[in-house]
Structure 1
């Protein structure tokens, strides 16, 4: 098969990774059928609009839809290649991987599979997920052969090619970043390589198998998580010792071989806050450092809430005539990272939600990246603009360092700055 044989591609899951990937293929004049269970998402895309915030994505999607290379549907259709980009969360207190979305997508795809088709799992997944996907496909289509049964002679090709892009820079990094491809056989890898070379300018590196590719992505995010945990733990140590952590990190980073990251209110997102648990679940006795980093980062929002409680108590002690019900608190940012609208696994959102459930006063939320229709209901919290929050709040919680916040001077009142914006 040559790259010209991929005349139609199906992308299952039109979220933060699936839609940009679908748009990228469509921009190369390949027919792309996007599949999503959300009918509203499908309708928005078919109008040439997008339902997420990602720079430049709106223009690419609009052009692709207008030119007839991209359309969305709720039903899987036949194609030469299928890319699965659905969520892979964890469940329960033990953080066990939840592959139910991958299984549902696999069984939906199975109905339309034809000999020669390629199926690629793009979702970041626990070790063995690609093989599990292949097994679900085989169970649903006993009339076809799969790599685990027939090797390179199989009717269907299976591979794993995890996304490795940064929200806010997805459209550029999809093209420029290297990709890791782990096919179940050499032929599977070769077919996936031809597919991605339609738009990837970075190097497509062939791994020895899907398990290596799966663990490579988990390793990348776990590396980040461990280093963020060091910075978060350091911030708590500095607070105990009465030292400015931002000054300390700036000084430490003057060493030529030291690069301490910046602390925050925790770690969020669909990758760094989730992926390390996949490694822990695969090797619980060995992944001690990775588990500890997760515990440190998961605890940080609780630490922020403890600091808030102390700040509120200090305010009430300083002003005996004031009650907690009369205090106004402003929270700046609820996305999981700066300059995006993504709320998945957001520690800032968890902090605000906790306050909304127990703080009796007025709670203002400033989130410049969310349109009115996308704002979640968070208990008694009210969404506010930046100027009003700065003017009216008694306590200010800086949770996400959006660009808009850097452009303002520190407000009057008490400040709990978890990102060093006003430090």
Structure 2
């Protein structure tokens, strides 16, 4: 039996106290991209780049544990769009991030390697903690948020997202969660929701925290009861959480989806106002260079038809280039467009007359600080917000999982098993789980 097998067996047998006495293996399997392959997709359009070619499952050395850090035995992880970007080397190869991080200190130099272990979500069990870690100990079941900060300057001490050395773990740092072991800062750790399986608990992290800050937090749109909220991709990884937060907060979501199947998922969540953009035939761009304001107007009219004449107080934006002009137009006078990511393109174009003359605001939102992540995870743990896991893959099939996300051939979140040998393990609170089982499984098989 290998050392990793011993660790896995101790976790599966609930012998968590034994983990502190088990040796940490010298290496583990992780999903990687390789620096010598960054040119493999040159000349191909983005949609033709295949993550199955660039994502590998490699045996990699276990990193040295530094002060304030923790090694976690990863039971499950999940796919986010940043893993897709990493796998297709867009907008730039992530090795640029690792090189820049490596210049900060001898400790951060560990991250600057010719391979990058990716992944920004995990659920698992603490194996070891470094010097100065007091709140966590080996054997504790955890999930991790993906904010990596240094906090040596003043800028991040009001909002850690403003730290000058703020990074996304597993994207802009190495040793991410799509692996059997992960290295995190101890202040990334949060308690695993007890009523969820390993794969369910791993899936909300990045998107749940991102949606919380973007929509609920005062650092984002500061949602209030009665707000009309236009949510793009409302059944997807981000949008499915935005839809839940809108409903939970007494707001009125207007869910934009691209198929009847996705519309049905939004109805399962409790949403009533739904726009199937493909069925309605919206084409916001006449061609590659020019948008069509008449389509913005037709879209706005559809929203008002559904809401009884009201425009959105908040537009939850993340597609970017394809939809941003319509989003700025559609928001009500004095309304807010809050944006993160740009999955359809980073160069946004909009008619500024609709912004400045109608006193609208554009707010940029990126992931979440520790407090926001903790609150978002707390809502999961209390059964007030639910995971949106639709399918789970093995570590070996991570490339296929990333391809599904790249081509939008998925619903909600896509999970990946690491040390967990099968789905359905890790539940501690069966009573709470039974109460919310339908909601937990709402995306299953979609």
TM-score (norm 2): 0.28
Higher relative contact order (CA 8 A, sep 6+): 2
More helix by share: 1
More strand by share: 2
TM-score (norm 1): 0.29
Larger Rg: 1
